[in-house]
Amino acid sequence: MTESGAQLFARLEPRRSLKDVEPRLFPDDGGPDHGEVVELYGTEGTGKTELLYHLLCRCVLPVATGGLEVDVVFVDTDYSLDMLRLVSILDSRLNADEAALRLCLSRLLVVHCSSSSQLLLTLHFLETSLSSRPSLSLLLIDSISAFYWLDRCEGGASVAKQEEKLSKCAVLLGRLLRDYRITVFATCHAMRRSWSGPSSSSSSDYDRPYLCRPWQRLVTHRLLCSRLEAASNMAATAGGSKEQRRRQVFTVHCTSSSSSRTKAYRSSSFCVTDGGVEFI
Amino acid sequence: MVVLREGMCPGLDEDLVRDLRAADIKTVEDVVSSDIEELAQRCSVSYKALFAIRRVLLAQHTAFPVSGADLYEELLSSTAILSTGNPSLDKLLDSGLYTGEITELSGGPGSGKSQVCFGVAVHISYHLKQSVIFIDTTGGLTASRLLQMLQAETSNTEEQMEALQRIHIFRLFNIFSLLDCLYSLRSGGLQQVSVGGGSVKAVIVDSVSAVISPLLGGKQNEGMSLMIQVAGVLKTMAKDFNVAALVTNHVTRSGSGELQPGLGVSWSHIPRTRILLERVERATPVSHSSMRSATLIKSSRQPCHIKEEFDLQWGSRSKEASSGKRKLDETDSG
């Protein structure tokens, strides 16, 4: 495919690396580099969305307030983007500066997709955005598993047909990652695949990846999110007073398996406040 | 999956569609994903023409990216918060139901989900003077109950009738008619309904689990797929038309014996806010007590697990209604 000189330049020009986006989450010197994919995996209520917004804010904030000042594309597959929550997190970091808020928000591009075919077409379309905006370094997909059941039903009995659409999207993503050297963060809702007895409320049931192989091969960092149930005593003792805020603690286990390094692990915990995620 | 047809875009004539089909290119996705040079050679058509067709098809069928700043502006001007009419619930929901989102009320039988939904419908139609769409899948909605709640708000029969007219009721008992109804509402039905009264501000589905849970389970995927379709159309309707979607759900017991909302893990990501309703256990059990407790189990705005207690009869504030209430309790035990 022919491309103009400007496009070639935009493609080859190095985009901002996101290695330092959140050093507390990833193993030492192991943040997501060019062309790597981070998957946030967990059930509902484990803090994935908060973590995603935290990383998103870190990317769009100006360098003066501790951000990376890069452009971000947010692919919203299940209409779950909570703009008001995002703005309240940005506000708390920017100290209610209207103009700066507008500038940060203008670095964000939001696309809604309603099916995996539309996701595929949108990724093709985004290729033109990628070549015309060299500051675009991050593609956020929330969530990559939104069409799982729709595809499974459409594919009928053959597993290959069920996974076909997501596989095509994954292959295309792989090409965009290689050609344009961007980074991808994606959330994936966990599901329990098999019923293994009444005593199995442990998180190990929920770790198993279930999306198609091409997607699994793309993922280099896997963040397993879970919620600690240890705070149940606080509610009983505090007596339900208004000031008592049950500080829910969330944990993240990061497994990094990029090709250049051996597998590395890191665990961290955080809780959620009005101003966003606070690591413990 | 959009199938290629002639006339979809300039340059796509019948012959070209036939040649493409012969080369195993049947849908728009196939055109967009394939190698244009190779395809041009195989179908003996100029590379430039095919490239232009690809670009037009792509522009026609992709979702258009919006800048975050524009999205935020739009949201600020169009989002509304609808009070539920019950101050304890409003406290849990951070002042009320937000438009553009799905809020879920779950609870066991007799926990008051339907009563809360009626209260919300009456409050929005009478106090806020806006239309409400109420989709009843359990058969629990009666106009006489709505009238009774309205009579507690005002004794002017004209106002009562006007408020009743703003509540539009659909009775459906299976998932396919639910999907039909939602799709037709989304493609023009909502505008039709709002002619005459105020615009539609809320869509209440009581209950969404009654039509979905019979389809779940077993080895088939259709039930899950239909559930996700319902969720999808509710969300797009809420977002595109700025309505608040309120759904009710049943409860099940988790592995550790706790009460949790039904419909499983795949549904748990769908609503933005979830509230669990329970009967209040008192030391001296009073039969037909109308106290309920509501727990916030999922929210993006408040810390979770805050509990509020409220009286279901809060909506009926009239003084002489004590005998009426007792009668209601007797008949309402189902």
Token pair in block for residue A181: 């050297």
Cβ distance B66 to A105 less than 8 Å, yes or no, reads: no
Q: Is the pLDDT of residue A238 over 60?
A: no
When pLDDT is cut at 50, 70 and 90, the band that residue A206 belongs to is low
- Look at residue B201 and tell me if it is in a domain: yes
Q: Is the same domain home to B45 and B110? A: no
**DSSP string computed for A198-215:** TT--SGGGG----S-HHH
Cβ distance B33 to A124 less than 8 Å, yes or no, reads: yes
Q: Is the same domain home to B301 and B218? A: yes
Q: Is the same domain home to B188 and B280? A: yes
Q: Is A181 exposed, middle or buried (0-12, 13-18, 19+ CB in 10 A)?
A: buried
- Look at residue B216 and tell me if it is in a domain: yes
Nearest by CB to A110, from B62, B71, B225: name it: B71
When pLDDT is cut at 50, 70 and 90, the band that residue B98 belongs to is very high
Q: What is the average per-residue pLDDT within B233-257?
A: 91
Q: What is the average per-residue pLDDT within B239-250?
A: 93
- Look at residue B66 and tell me if it is in a domain: no
Cβ distance A198 to B255 less than 8 Å, yes or no, reads: yes
Nearest residue to B90 via CA among B314, B317, B325, B332: B314
The CATH number of the domain holding residue B327 is 3.40.50.300
Q: Is the pLDDT of residue B178 over 80?
A: yes
Taking only the tens place, the pLDDT of each residue in B180-189 is 999 999 988 7
Q: What is the dihedral of CA B205, B210, B212, B216, to 10 degrees?
A: 160
pLDDT in the model for residue B29: 86
Residues in CB range of A182: below 8 A, 6 or more apart: A15, A34, A35, A130, A136, A137, A138, A139, A176
pTM for the complete prediction? 0.86
Distance from CA of A14 to the nearest CA of B (A): 24
pLDDT in the model for residue B276: 93
Q: Is the same domain home to B79 and B56? A: no
Q: Is A190 on the interface with B (CB under 8 A)?
A: yes
- The SS3 assignment for A43 reads coil
- Look at residue B224 and tell me if it is in a domain: yes
pLDDT in the model for residue B271: 93
Q: What is the average per-residue pLDDT within A119-144?
A: 89
Q: What is the average per-residue pLDDT within B81-102?
A: 91
Q: Is the pLDDT of residue B204 over 90?
A: yes
Contact A169, A2 (CB under 8 A): no
Q: Is the pLDDT of residue A97 over 90?
A: no
Q: How far apart are CA B212 and CA A249, in angstroms?
A: 33
Region of A66 (left: φ > 0; alpha: ψ -120 to 50; beta: rest) is left
Q: Is the same domain home to B223 and B287? A: yes
Mean pLDDT of chain A: 82
Percentage helix, strand, coil for chain B under 3-state DSSP, each rounded to 5: 45, 20, 35
Residue of A nearest to B255 (CA): A198
Contact A126, A139 (CB under 8 A): yes
pLDDT in the model for residue A9: 67
Beta strands in chain B (DSSP E): 66-67, 81-82, 97-98, 102-107, 131-136, 167-171, 200-206, 244-249, 251-253, 259-261, 273-279, 291-298, 307-311
Q: Is the pLDDT of residue B287 over 70?
A: no
pLDDT in the model for residue B330: 40
Residue of B nearest to A103 (CA): B69
Distance from CA of B86 to the nearest CA of A (A): 19
Q: Is B235 on the interface with A (CB under 8 A)?
A: yes
Q: Is the pLDDT of residue A12 over 80?
A: no
Q: How far apart are CA A260 and CA A243, in angstroms?
A: 49
**Choosing among A49, A121, A232, which should be mutated to test the B contact, i.e. which has the most B CBs within 10 A?**
A121
Q: Is the same domain home to B54 and B100? A: no
Q: Is the same domain home to B50 and B196? A: no
When pLDDT is cut at 50, 70 and 90, the band that residue A233 belongs to is very low
Q: What is the average per-residue pLDDT within B145-169?
A: 90
Portion 74-133 of A in contact with B at CB < 8 A: 74, 78-80, 82-85, 87, 102, 104-114, 117-118, 120-122, 124-126, 129
Q: What is the average per-residue pLDDT within A259-276?
A: 83
- Look at residue B4 and tell me if it is in a domain: no
CA B275 to chain centre: 15
Taking only the tens place, the pLDDT of each residue in B1-29 is 788 888 888 888 888 888 888 888 888 88
- Look at residue B89 and tell me if it is in a domain: yes
Q: Is the same domain home to B31 and B117? A: no
Instruction: Give the CA angle between residues A91, A95, A96 to the nearest 5°.
Output: 60
Token pair in block for residue B285: 């059990």
Residue B53 belongs to what domain range? 14-60
- Look at residue B260 and tell me if it is in a domain: yes
- The SS3 assignment for A262 reads coil
CA separation (Å) from A258 to A47, A52, B179?
24, 21, 44
When pLDDT is cut at 50, 70 and 90, the band that residue B331 belongs to is very low
Q: Is A152 on the interface with B (CB under 8 A)?
A: yes
pLDDT in the model for residue A196: 47
Q: Is the pLDDT of residue A201 over 60?
A: no
Residue of A nearest to B232 (CA): A78
Least confident range of A6-15, A208-217, A225-234: A225-234
User: Which has more pLDDT, B70 or A44?
Assistant: B70
Cα-trace Rg, chain B = 25
Least confident range of A263-277, B74-88, B251-265, B316-330: B316-330
Q: Is the same domain home to B228 and B190? A: yes
Q: Is B56 on the interface with A (CB under 8 A)?
A: no
Strands A71-76 and B97-98: unpaired
Nearest by CB to B265, from A87, A154, A191: name it: A191
Indicate the number of domains in chain B.
Answer: 2
- Look at residue B3 and tell me if it is in a domain: no
Taking only the tens place, the pLDDT of each residue in A18-71 is 888 888 888 887 788 888 999 999 888 888 888 999 999 999 999 888 888 899
pLDDT in the model for residue B319: 34
Q: How far apart are CA B35 and CA A195, in angstroms?
A: 44
pLDDT-above-90 percentage for chain B: 42
Q: Is the same domain home to B100 and B20? A: no
Q: Is the same domain home to B37 and B158? A: no
Q: Is the same domain home to B54 and B193? A: no
Cβ distance A150 to B228 less than 8 Å, yes or no, reads: yes
CA separation (Å) from A105 to A69, A90, A273, B242?
11, 9, 21, 22
Taking only the tens place, the pLDDT of each residue in A155-184 is 888 888 888 899 999 999 999 999 888 999
Q: How far apart are CA A8 and CA A2, in angstroms?
A: 9
